[in-house]
Amino acid sequence: MSDESRSILTPEQSRYPMRRRTQQQQAQMASSSGQGAAHEVTPSKRITAISRKATEHVEDIVPSPQSMQDLQANVESVDETIDRYLGVGDIDSAVYWMDSEYARQCEENKKGQAIALYHYVRRLSMAREWSRVSAILESRHAQHSHKIFTFYYINALFQMKRYMDIDNFQFGNIIMEHEKLMNIKRDEGPFLLITSDWEMKLTDEEHFYLDDAAIKNKIMASLYLVLGQTFLAIENRQAASVCLWKALQMDSKCLIAEKLIARFGLVNQDSKVPLLPIRGAEYAQDPRTMTKQAEEIYAKGDAANAYDITRQIVEKFGFYRDCMLLHINCLAQLDDSDALFLLSQRLVDSKPEDAYSWYAVALYYYTTKQYGLAKNYMAKATSINSRFGESWLAFGHILAASCDSEQAQNCYLRAQRIMEGRYEPLLYVGVQHSKCMLNLAERFLLDANKMTDGQNAIVLHELSCLCYANKNYEQAIQYALKALGIVNKDAEPLEKPISKFWQKLINNIGHIYRRLGKLDEAMKYHRKALLMKNNDVSALASLAMCHAALLDFDSATHCLHRAFSLQPVNSLLHSIQKKMVDLQQMHISLLPILPSKEPASSRFSLQDLSNILEKQAGTSKMTTAPFRSRMEMRSMQHLAESCPQSGRILNLSPIPQD
């Protein structure tokens, strides 16, 4: 750089090299546009040159009218802006542009406001602004003017749980074409009423546009679906059945209507055509297909394998709602309190307004036997969603575990009103009555068995326990073996491995065989029960009684010692020990008069000893079951899940040992 150029640099330019280079480039540009590089570059000349160059650039940048139109065509429209913000979850920005666009359309087009209102409430519904949707339609009296506005208004009320407002809504000629619904009556008057003229008037063009949009989006099917869900919430099953079947008829792909019909057992009032299975192609990686597979496995009592599938669904697809109830109940049945604690915390953090979240919290406290806290959180779940039938069933189990049988029955009966057509509420009401009123328990259990066409192993097991309590052992063994055949698919009872859930069924079959005097068969089932659940005190005590009844006191003592090592203060074990000692002393005192038998060929049974005592003392025949002490053992409640199969509560009651 020349001395003249260096002399014009300011101290500030000298401190900042980047600015100095920029000034040098500008000086060169100014020099090249002037008379020549030999002239002296003054600040005024440099500024003039820069201004001239900038003017040339501005003329190149400013577009012509044609290029201005092309630029406007490339600008993002307001509709695209709203859709983009909704797609990325920026609800605030989307709602801002919704309000701005609707205000602009109302000012520019005074006659087409109904069409603008339709797009406005549609987008607000997508943003879940339910209170605003209802207020906007009410302020303009639009909810009565067209069925498309009626749907958005009713849907907003349903989302806000304003069920009685929907029930009192005057539909008028909106759905008058369905006479079946018009004829449904309430206590205070007709269900649907004719209304007066609407304040908001629509032009023919608006009518044609809204009718076309309603047909394209199947608005009437959606309206009937919302009405059906509302009537289920207020326990009007007849109206709910009409609405849901109408929704399914108008939209054959409406899976929600089909699920509700199947779950609540709603009968088609127009025809007795059975409900088809939920349609749609099934793929192995579809979460719905995987959930269905888990439900089938869980219905067989195999909670461990069902949990493996539900865990994969949660890992791959997140909190998939149709699977969550089954996933929670699998953890509860497996007594995995640690995993249930972590899951419940995640659910409460992400969805505190959902009843499923507090249902999971309640089951965590139930598995840890903190029944007071479990009742509090289950009450919260039922208050959030009073139509959550599975929560009422679980509430009943919690109350039954805390020895509140009367309140448990109230919960089961409440679940029966919600889950009409399901066998579980009747089953557990019968189980509660079996503690004191056997005749009433039999009625409920037989009704539950009728609902399942006699093909449910859990119901058959409870009927077997009831027959055992009534000392009808022949009928008890029939029910028990039929239940085992359903579980084992008619295979050999003791050969095929089955889920640990059915361990009580296997052990109870051994009790019944012992009562029938078939001690060898009884011991086979008790040993199978021990293989299914090692160190089970009930199975060890049962096996000890069988050995004692066969006068094999060494084996009986060995079984009792194992049981005492697990539960030293068990009163039932002490009672069995006392009875066994008395029987052994009696046997020793009668050894001189007992007939001789080869040990290898046979053993003296309790029946042989009974016959000898009868001859010696002339007393009545002894029973083949010497132990009369009875202990009421609390049945362990096992919980399961969601949709009709996923929400099933599995429970097997043990037969009291005596």
Residue 274 in this model has a pLDDT that exceeds 70: no
pLDDT for 212 equals: 93
Q: What is the pLDDT of residues 301-321, one digit of tens each?
A: 888 899 999 999 999 998 888
- 226: nearest Cα among 147, 145, 166: 166
Instruction: Work out the pLDDT band at 185, boundaries 50, 70, 90.
Output: very low
Burial 568-582 (b: 16+ CB within 10 A, else e): eebebbebbbebbee
Q: Is the pLDDT of residue 70 over 70?
A: no
Give 347-360 pLDDT, tens digit per residue. 999 999 999 999 99
Residue bearing the bigger pLDDT, 5 or 29: 29
Q: Is 495 helix (H, G, I), strand (E, B) or coil?
A: coil
Q: Give residue 375's pLDDT.
A: 95
Q: How do residues 526-541 score in pLDDT, each as one tens digit? A: 999 998 888 888 889 8
Q: Comparing 112-116, 280-284, 575-579, 602-606, which segment has the lowest mean pLDDT? A: 602-606
- pLDDT computed for residue 487 by the predictor: 85
Burial of 352 (0-12, 13-18, 19+ CB in 10 A): exposed
Residue 447, C-beta contacts closer than 8 angstroms, at least 6 positions apart: 426
CA distance 345 to 194: 50
Confirm if 474 and 517 have CB atoms less than 8 A apart.
no
CB count, 10 Å around CB of 192? 18
CA distance 185 to 357: 37
pTM of the model: 0.71
Contact 325, 646 (CB under 8 A): yes
Question: In angstroms, rounded to a whole number, what is the distance separating the alpha carbons of residues 652 and 501?
Answer: 8
Q: Does an H or E element contain 185, and which?
A: strand 185-186
* Domains of the chain, start order: 3-66 (no CATH), 79-217 (no CATH), 287-516 (1.25.40.10)
Q: Which two tokens stand for residue 16?
A: 């900042």
Q: Which residues pair with 189 in a beta bridge?
A: 186
Find, among 557, 563, 579, the residue nearest to 623 by Cα: 579
Residue with tokens 């093909």: 455
What distance in Å separates the CA atoms of residue 49 and residue 35, rounded to the nearest whole number? 12
pLDDT of residue 130: 93
| Residue 381 pLDDT exceeds 50 | yes
The pLDDT of residue 520 is above 60: yes
The answer on pLDDT for 256 being more than 70 is: yes
In angstroms, the CA 184 to CA 107 distance is 44
Q: Are 640 and 330 in contact (CB under 8 A)?
A: yes
Q: Give the pLDDT of residue 331.
A: 93
**437 token code pair:** 């009123």
Over 586-642, what HEC string results?
A: HHHHCHHHCCCCCCCCCCCCHHHHHHHHHHHHCCCCCCCCCCCCCCCCCCCECCCCC
Place of tokens 């029944």: 371
| Closest C-alpha to 127, from 94, 96, 150 | 94
SS3 189: strand
The position carrying tokens 């020099």 is 31
Quick one: average pLDDT of 174-182? 50
pLDDT in tens, 3-24: 444 444 444 444 444 444 545 5
Among 299, 357, 275, 645, which Cα is nearest to 499's?
299
* Rounded-to-integer distance, Cα 159 and Cα 129, Å: 10
Alpha-carbon gap, residue 414 to 396, rounded angstroms: 10
CA distance 459 to 450: 10
What are the φ and ψ backbone dihedral angles of 111, each rounded to 5 degrees?
A: -95, -20
3-state secondary structure of 64: coil
User: CA-based angle 21:22:24, to the nearest 5?
Assistant: 65
